[in-house]
Structure 1
Amino acid sequence: MIDEIATSAEVLEASALPCAHVVHADPDAPETAEQQPLPAAVARKPVEQKSPAEWAYERLILYIRNFESQLDARHEVAMGFAGGEVGVLRIEGLGYFDPDLITFYGRDEDGAKMQLVQHVSQLNVALRAIPREMPDAPPRRIGFRLAQDWDEPAPAEPQHPAPEA
């Protein structure tokens, strides 16, 4: 067994990078969330400083945004839930409540208002493409709305005057 020696910068960089990997049967498959760099706003806070809910929330947004980027104009994203008779939820919102709850807001197949609160240890969703509710309106892309503040530059750090000698 060989012990690798890493500089403190390498250790810090490794702790900030998530461990993600994907393999597709089709070598020409579209790029997936695991293959893309994290938005700067997500990478700014180290994973070990995030609650399980916050980290699950951020990764769900990445998956939703990537899924939506591959949809045609006739479809929107919805989620199916495993392990129950919840059905399909047309996504209208997503939230988290530290340390361990994720909340999905939306409407079911009949248009009834729906909210699902789920513990991160039970998180299991299937993203689905469903026909748009209003075919004449542009498709709603919730993943891009959820992540809109990730693409904005970080606020400048306040400049503190140097202490007088």
Structure 2
Amino acid sequence: MDNKIETTAEAIEANALRRAGVVHVGNCGPTPEQQPLPDAMSKTPIEQKSPAEWAYERLILYIKNFEEQLDNNHEIAMGFVGGDAGVMRIEGIGFYAPDVITFYGADPAGARTQQIQHVSQLNVQLRALPKNVDQPEPNRIGFRLAQDLGTA
């Protein structure tokens, strides 16, 4: 414990400030850590959000940012970390407070897939997969998720 004395206003301000950072080799464009939080996410203080809700909101920012860097021939998928379960096209994401995140989607063969994770085990790898040849435009789940947060 440090002996720094803060006024109430300083303590509240320090607690409200977002703590994020990123370092990249080369230019990869702006990332969620470098951008301000959308107003809709800032309305509820972090302390009033469950770990699942706070993780859900930040995952949406990462998904939306990843998709913004894809061309029209690719869409987002999630690789499963720590196993050979393959990948899943992300078609939805949700949370169940206080501590569960779930991903809904399909594997490359089209089989329905769902992954449910405790926030303490959250480990997501975002991947780009070619869009299905029979669809004219790639699915952009990040934009729809961001609309739900009021960030689009």
Structure 2 length as normaliser, TM-score?
A: 0.90
Q: Distance in 1 between matches of 2:7 and 2:69?
A: 39
Aligned to 2:38: 39
Larger Rg: 1
RMSD between superposed Cα atoms in Å: 1.8
Change beyond 3 A, Cα 1:135–1:12: farther
Bigger drift between 117-126 and 80-89 goes to 80-89
| Mapping for residues 88-99 of structure 1, pairs under 5 Å | 88-99=87-98
**Contiguous gaps of at least 5 residues in structure 1:** 153-165
1:16 correspondence with 2:16? yes
Structure 1 stretch displaced more, 11-20 or 122-131: 11-20
> What amino acid is the match of 1:23?
V
What is the aligned-residue identity percentage? 60
Q: Tell me how far apart the structure 2 counterparts of residues 102 and 150 of structure 1 sit (CA, whole Å).
A: 16
Please give the alpha-carbon distance, in whole angstroms, between the structure 2 residues aligned to 1:12 and 1:55. 19
Q: Distance in 2 between matches of 1:29 and 1:126?
A: 17
Q: Which runs of 5+ in 2 are unaligned?
A: none
Q: Specify whether residues 61 and 15 from structure 1 end up closer, same or farther in structure 2 by C-alpha distance, changes over 3 A only.
A: same
Residues 101, 120 of structure 1: 8 Å contact kept? yes
Q: How does 1:96-107 map to 2 (within 5 A)?
A: 96-107=95-106
Q: Assess if the C-alpha contact under 8 Å between 2:57 and 2:149 holds in 1.
A: no
Runs of at least 4 residues of structure 1 off by over 6 A?
none
| Contact 1:53–1:102 under 8 Å retained in 2 | yes
Deviation at 1:48, TM superposition (A): 1.1
CA contact (8 A) 2:77 2:126 kept: yes
CA separation in 2, counterparts of 1:120 and 1:64? 17
Q: TM-score normalized by structure 1?
A: 0.83
Deviation string, structure 1 residues 108-137 (Cα, Å, up to 9, x no partner): 011100111111111101100110013651
